Amino acid sequence: MKVRFLLDENMEVQVRAALLRREPSIDILRVGDPTAPPLRTPDPAILVYVEEHRRMLITRNRASMPQHIVEHFDGGRHHWGVMRVKKSGTMITLVETLLLIWAASSAEDWLDQFDWIPI
């Protein structure tokens, strides 16, 4: 199965637009979109959503997300990858990395992976 993405609400909307310009068939949503969780959804609920909808979460949440993931796992749950975006990363690097993840891997490769972009 191809990787599908969910951008958290703190990710710039331009990220999705830039990625779709490069590859229109990528499945990418942002928190607040009609079929995604609404804005201000708590992080634990976002993790449940990405698990149930098999989406990799792309987030700028570097502070509380690690603890939320531990609690998610403690509840017997999983996720399809959570990637934190480094402050030092550029939008070009982010878009190129997401494109590479999408093109060169499957969703199953990222099950329960928690990493940084740039990698």
* 42-59 pLDDT per residue, tens: 999 999 999 999 999 999
Biggest CA-to-CA distance, the chain: 39
pLDDT at 28: 97
Mean pLDDT confidence for 86-94: 87
* CATH of 5-117 among 3.30.1120, 1.20.120, 3.40.50, 3.30.2010: 3.40.50
pLDDT at 89: 80
Mean pLDDT confidence for 91-110: 95
Distance separating alpha carbons of residues 77 and 57, to the nearest angstrom? 15
Distance separating alpha carbons of residues 112 and 106, to the nearest angstrom? 13
pLDDT at 57: 98
Buried residues in 56-83 as b, exposed as e (16+ CB within 10 A): bbbbbbeeebeebbeebeeeeeebbbbb
Neighbouring-strand partners of residue 83: 58, 115
Mean pLDDT confidence for 67-88: 94
pLDDT at 63: 84
Chain centroid to Cα 58, Å, comes to 3
pLDDT at 119: 62
